[in-house]
Amino acid sequence: MLTGKHLIAGLWVGGDATFTNEPVSGTPDSFAIGTPELVDRAAQAAEEAFWSYGYSTRSERATFLRAIADEIDARGDAITAMGCKETGLPEARLIGERGRTTGQLKLFADHIEAGDYLDRRHDVALPDRAPLPRPDIRLMQRPIGPVAVFGASNFPLAFSTAGGDTAAALAAGCPVVVKGHSAHPGVSDFVAQAIAAAIETCGVHPGTFSQIQGGNRAVGQAVVTHPLIKAVGFTGSLGGGRALFDLCAARPEPIPFFGELGSVNPMFLLDGAVSARGDVIAAGWASSLTMGAGQFCTKPGVAVVIAGPSADEFIAATGAALAETGSQTMLTAGIAMAYHNGRDRVSGTSGVREVMTSTCDFRNATPYLFATTAAEWLANDTLGEEVFGPLGMVVTACDADEMLAVAQSLQGQLTCTLHMDDSDAVMARRLMPVLERKAGRVLANGFPTGVEVCDTMVHGGPYPASTNFGATSVGTMSIRRFLRPVSYQNIPEAVLPDDFG
């Protein structure tokens, strides 16, 4: 059953002030509103926990991660039902997302047991080296301390309470304070119960994990400015993320803010591919564009193509495919309103024509397709702003040079995609140096809405896609965000951390 409360260092804490979720159907549920005082309690407990959890063995932490996964699965039916109620996401999507969530917890367990992430190095002493001897120096990655994680609106499981940021931090040895998202507090409540059960089963310090529900912006500000918090993981809007980033930078002790903020994820359709299979690409794009009502951070919102008959056919085929998509429920009323406003902004922009329009209202979303020229795109920066929802834009370039200019004009992206055939290799080679500077992931002949959780994935990119281009929020490399290198000079082996053994 729901607690409706915050989890603070093993205790379920309520309060007089409450907020309710916004269910698609059924009766709203009530939850306690977070406060800065609760943030302080959670951060203090996390710091206390760090002195044991931060120095626990990799095997102990791996066991804990697997126990969390098992406890989440044990509550699977309740989590799915609540997720459908709060977000409008279909049951199959939520079951799949739960599998991704438990899978990445288990992946991190395997990863830390292998030990490669520690990046252990050893330069042996050279006492006879001239003109100066060299000391014995070792290096290893160590956990940074308590970490704050913000739940995301569009992934109530995989990017929220026990999502990738939390899994990476716990794997590294960092206690976590989660600021729950008000879009799905019920799901967050059930997942926090699972983590609490795993803490008890594994004998982990209860301060290792706390969750403070939303309902109050002061909670987010208090989390990122608390002096005991050493890093922040965030997935959300550019405006909200940038405000939190600025707070982190303005602290007396600035800390890293690992924010994934948004991206239009452009696709570049090269001539050979468009001529040979433009209709197939159009159908695939329409499916990717509308998946989950377009509420994926990797939704490919822009297609760049060189003008001509094949481009015209591609645009028409995309519009026809999108017209077959019905209305979908968006995650929150606020997200739906932002989508409607974004649609109106694009449709009212000079030089943009409507290819396929529809009608949507309230919490619903239907697809829209617009087209503009590369010249208009290059002259108007607002066309490159993300619209969160199933809206697509086709940009037609007059030639290869103008297509390259569009690529060079891009802000930082999570992904860039090439649709190409063998005959397009020359143009693809021209684009590749630009695209790899613009995005964290470059792919060919696919759609970026599938983000594989694995060793080689990068989910991040230059600003404003993310606030730290050297990091990823998906995949095992994401653990690096919550570690720092420490050198040990002439430290006796009996005193060195056990992980050197």
Q: Report d(CA 279, CA 141) in Å as an integer.
A: 50
End-to-end CA distance of the chain: 45
The DSSP symbol for 292 reads G
Is 202 one of the catalytic residues? no
Is 260 one of the catalytic residues? yes
Q: Report d(CA 432, CA 280) in Å as an integer.
A: 23
Count how many Cα atoms sit within 13 Å of the Cα of residue 68 in the half-sphere of its side chain: 32
| Catalytic-role residue among 297, 360, 386, 402 | 297
Q: Report d(CA 461, CA 414) in Å as an integer.
A: 5
Please name the residues in contact with 496: beta carbons below 8 A apart, sequence gap of 6 or more: 138, 488
| Catalytic-role residue among 48, 260, 386, 402 | 260
Q: Report d(CA 218, CA 145) in Å as an integer.
A: 23
**Residue 438 Rama label (left phi>0; alpha psi -120 to 50; beta):** alpha
Decide if 177 contacts 43 (C-beta within 8 A).
Answer: yes
Phi, psi of 116 (to 5 degrees): -65, -30
User: Taking Cα atoms as reference points, which of 416, 374, 421 lies closest to residue 394?
Assistant: 374
Decide if 499 contacts 112 (C-beta within 8 A).
Answer: no
Active site residues: 260, 297
